[in-house]
Structure 1
């Protein structure tokens, strides 16, 4: 058990022990490990599901006893319903984005590149996020072998160890720039400096294929740049042929073909960028919170 989880449990037990009126609150949690403990005190629990543990059968009774469940993808909900939960108990609420962070960036693409010390004469293909295998970043790196020197793949994110491993594995590739970790408020400027944004998730992992609702997806849409994403059920819940180019997962050559296709077709690139920005207006944190509150019907008379 993680130390931070242990401290949380100790604090929670102290709170529950000393609190006199336990009828005026709900627990909203993501960690299913807390469910057995919390349900000892209350059934007024809302669990937000981001993935499912391997021992699903063990947790099934605790999920059934939750007041409501929030699933970040339809794929997650389908698995839970398939396990015996009621569909009405579960709301699908994808992740979201703070659009204001992007509207604050007023500079042009050229001005941003000068400010961020990015090359003005290259086509920038940008990825943000972790470098986990299921994220498909190696597929993006391998796609550079099929691109010209005019294209530069920019990788933003990753832990120090993962960045070191990635650099060592790809040191022979000359058209890759690894920026490393950035603070959240720095990311919009980099995304708006891009020509294309890439979401190369692998099809070889259930998290990637079914469960994930990537924050970067909504950030990409808010950046008003064309998106190329792996054609996976999880991503198709948000993306389609009108707001992105969907590419065969785990296929670097096909990814490179689609990169070249967008770079050579400005009309298509602009069209899908406009549509994705229109679509992302539905996925703000405010609207997500509102839908969850309406679903839960948060008041003291429930359950």
Structure 2
């Protein structure tokens, strides 16, 4: 039995974190139906995780107290309480457990440093970055040492580590925290049931977009730290040479879209929230993934202006973009080029506006169908089924060592 412990930020899949957790679990349970997935839930909150057979434990909602005292430390307490709850659930089953697989740093630290050794169970930590570099980390000065303790415990004392990128694997070796042989690279993935090449003309007709316009598209759950203001500036500049250019941005919270609309208007762009109106930039609210793929399929070029992380950068959108085969513009970050090599992408120096404009212009000029086919072939190695197979292989390797 594999025990899979996660703390998704949305039970209705309204975040990339939740989507990745849900679709990984769906594929994992298809391969290993005995997987025990433990997920928190507040009260009777609706949850899509029932669909993948997850067991919901009561969420110890200590973090809700942050409305009175704003501190991430309250969420650390919440995650710690949930870690203890999962240990109580797993303990009676420990003789049937091959490994405990965890993708949340606080819970991983408790299991790697305490519950795992106490129960005699190997712990695998899927690290998405150092907690000490998390933009949402505890900001209190005295907490810096605590953050380092979390990272060291989770990463150094876990039986094995799953890294999203080879770049992070190298970093752990450079700082002396892990032998590379104990770190498996398991990148993110895309949902092959949804993302596939689209008929551009049909997508545009469905959405009411001009059939002959040049369209640059971006899709994301949230806009924080993604440098979308830079993308707007690049679109405005490119309209001098591409007068029929349209920007299509999908997702984000209402406040984020409002701020982006204000910035776009200051750049002289006409903005609309629906494709029923003529505009230079469409800011569309979030929609189900089946709607996302139709929006992306209407584009000529797909773009990732920036990522939240660097050595662990493995955004879901990169894999989804690749599956469509369209030209992709992205910052020149080694972790991204591990997945999509430079000759199949249009790269630019990170946060360099001139470089972004040049990369977008080059991508708009692409007419080689062999490049689209090569991206799709690469994407096929990163379906969620392939991801589940990599996780199972790591679990079996750890269990055999045990």
With normalisation by structure 1, the TM-score equals: 0.87
Work out whether residues 125 and 154 of structure 2, in 8 Å CA contact, stay in contact via their aligned partners in 1.
no
In the other structure, the counterpart of 1:288 is 387
Matched position secondary structure for 2:382:
coil
Is 1:146 aligned with 2:240? no
Is 1:22 aligned with 2:94? yes
Q: How far apart are residue 57 of structure 1 and its match?
A: 4.6
In the other structure, the counterpart of 2:105 is 32
In the other structure, the counterpart of 1:2 is 63
Within 5 A, what are the aligned runs for 1:239-278? 239-267=340-368, 270-278=369-377
Matched position secondary structure for 2:225:
helix
Cα RMSD between the aligned structures? Answer: 2.4
Deviations 1:262-302 (A, max 9, x none): 333423xx342222112111111111211221123168665
In the other structure, the counterpart of 1:195 is 300
Segments of structure 2 that go 5 or more residues without pairing to the other structure are 1-61, 65-77, 133-146, 271-279
Is 1:51 aligned with 2:125? no
Work out whether residues 80 and 107 of structure 2, in 8 Å CA contact, stay in contact via their aligned partners in 1.
no
Provide closer, same or farther for how the CA distance between residues 62 and 209 of structure 1 changes in structure 2, counting only shifts above 3 A. closer
Segments of structure 1 that go 5 or more residues without pairing to the other structure are none
Matched position secondary structure for 2:110:
helix
Deviations 1:213-233 (A, max 9, x none): 010000000012111111111
Provide the rounded CA distance (Å) in 2 between the counterparts of 1:13 and 1:262: 50
Work out whether residues 344 and 375 of structure 2, in 8 Å CA contact, stay in contact via their aligned partners in 1.
yes
Provide the rounded CA distance (Å) in 2 between the counterparts of 1:27 and 1:118: 48
> How many pairs were matched up?
293
Provide closer, same or farther for how the CA distance between residues 256 and 11 of structure 1 changes in structure 2, counting only shifts above 3 A. same
Provide closer, same or farther for how the CA distance between residues 142 and 234 of structure 1 changes in structure 2, counting only shifts above 3 A. same
Q: How far apart are residue 82 of structure 1 and its match?
A: 2.5
Provide the rounded CA distance (Å) in 2 between the counterparts of 1:58 and 1:208: 18
Provide the rounded CA distance (Å) in 2 between the counterparts of 1:184 and 1:8: 30
Is 1:220 aligned with 2:321? yes
Provide the rounded CA distance (Å) in 1 between the counterparts of 2:263 and 2:201: 31
Deviations 1:13-43 (A, max 9, x none): 5424xx4342222321111111343242224
Provide closer, same or farther for how the CA distance between residues 110 and 58 of structure 1 changes in structure 2, counting only shifts above 3 A. closer
In the other structure, the counterpart of 1:82 is 174
With normalisation by structure 2, the TM-score equals: 0.67
Q: How far apart are residue 166 of structure 1 and its match?
A: 1.4
Q: How far apart are residue 66 of structure 1 and its match?
A: 1.1
| Equivalent residue in structure 1 for 2:213, among 122, 126, 135 | 122
Q: How far apart are residue 61 of structure 1 and its match?
A: 3.5
Provide closer, same or farther for how the CA distance between residues 191 and 137 of structure 1 changes in structure 2, counting only shifts above 3 A. same
Structure 1 range deviating more: 164-173 or 227-236: 164-173
In the other structure, the counterpart of 2:141 is none
Work out whether residues 23 and 300 of structure 1, in 8 Å CA contact, stay in contact via their aligned partners in 2.
no
Provide the rounded CA distance (Å) in 2 between the counterparts of 1:28 and 1:21: 15
